[in-house]
Amino acid sequence: MILVYNKFMAFVIAFAGKGGTGKTTVAGLTVRYIIEKRKMPVLAVDADSNNCLNGVLGVDVHATIGNLREESLQTIRSGAERPGGMSMEQLFDYQVQQSLIESKGFDLIVMGRPEGPGCYCAANNIIRKYTDKLSATYPYVVIDNEAGMEHLSRRTTNKVNLLLIVSDPAVRGIQTAARINGLVDELQLEIDTRVLIINRISGDEGGGLKNLAEESGLRVAGLIPQDTLIFSSDLQGKPIFQLPHDSKAVKAAFSILDSLDIP
Ligand SMILES: Nc1ncnc2c1ncn2[C@@H]1O[C@H](COP(=O)(O)OP(=O)(O)OP(=O)(O)O)[C@@H](O)[C@H]1O
Ligand SMILES: [Mg+2]
């Protein structure tokens, strides 16, 4: 994809939630939803240092921001000639462009982790800067975050239009979701809409958990059932694009997304 800086800003959808609740799966389904329903290009951002979104989307990762940084540092240390006399900043921009993984309907950028000991902040700051920068060139950005709350204070992106908090069908998942919701307030993050999705529902627990969530101040966008097709597709390393349209989870996720006023 050739990047042309346009005037519009992307609609940014980000994910948060406890570990293993289905953030990456639902992020992948969201990318598929936008491609199928909006027929517009998506920038998928894997902001989890333990990257998995590429597997869900069915693409290989040839570069991450984490190891880019290491490469650039090596260039500085070695005093090596930079291509075309580029400045460090230009070289970096160029490398970020090169590290975009292009696929049908979407591009993916992966934060990864810095090699060796070192802080993740630098990779994170770069991913934020480029997510913001690239937001001007894609109509939609979908950001898969790592589990927990730390990424909220680090801020993977500046402006989020829709934050989807994902919980498993358990009280602790809802409590984590409520804490995330509280932290968003505390940090005064720029997030237009936040909703909860309760994933992996397998019985009649949905109603009670929905009530608990609402009592905790969360807006529940919907429930996604436990779906053996998702599980086996993950087990076989197949991308979510291959899941049939009538899969229980695909249908539920799409109808939740339909209800969320995504432009
Ligand atoms: N609705 C579902 N039905 C069946 N399996 C599911 C469903 N949603 C997610 N899973 C499975 O649950 C596991 C965890 O999902 P996923 O990796 O999306 O969670 P996550 O929140 O991104 O995890 P992490 O916190 O480690 O990043 C995966 O094996 C996935 O296939
Ligand atoms: Mg994940």
| Ligand that lies nearest to the alpha carbon of residue 17, given by its number in the listed order | 1
| DSSP code of residue 22 | S
**If you average pLDDT over residues 53-74, what whole number do you get?**
84
CA 115, CA 20: separation in Å to the nearest integer?
25
Q: From the CB of 30, is ligand 1 less than 6 Å away?
A: no
Q: Could you report the per-residue pLDDT of 131-158, keeping only the tens digit for each?
A: 888 888 899 999 999 888 878 877 767 7
CA 238, CA 234: separation in Å to the nearest integer?
6
Q: Which positions ≥6 away from 221 have C-beta within 8 Å?
A: 164, 195, 196, 197, 256, 259, 260
Please give all residues whose CB falls under 5 A of ion ligand 2, grouped by chain where several chains appear: 23-24
Q: Which of 109, 112, 107 is nearest to 93 (CA)?
A: 109
> How far apart, in Å, are the Cα atoms of 24 and each of 27, 29, 87, 92, 223?
5, 9, 36, 28, 16
- Confidence (pTM): 0.92
Q: Which positions ≥6 away from 88 have C-beta within 8 Å?
A: 72, 76, 82
Q: Could you report the per-residue pLDDT of 165-216, keeping only the tens digit for each?
A: 999 999 999 999 999 999 999 999 999 999 999 999 999 999 999 999 999 9
Residue of minimum CA distance from atom 26 in ligand 1: 20
Residue of minimum CA distance from atom 14 in ligand 1: 20
Residue 1 has pLDDT above 80, yes or no: no
| Ligand that lies nearest to the alpha carbon of residue 147, given by its number in the listed order | 1
22 alpha carbon – ligand 1 mean position (Å):
4
Residue of minimum CA distance from atom 25 in ligand 1: 19
Q: Could you report the per-residue pLDDT of 86-137, keeping only the tens digit for each?
A: 777 777 788 888 889 999 999 999 988 766 666 667 777 777 888 888 888 8
Q: From the CB of 232, is ligand 1 less than 6 Å away?
A: no
Residue 6 has pLDDT above 70, yes or no: no
Range scoring the smallest mean pLDDT among 10-14, 27-31, 82-86, 234-238: 82-86
With b meaning 16 or more CB within 10 Å and e meaning fewer, what string describes 61-82? bebbbbbbbbebeebeeeeeee
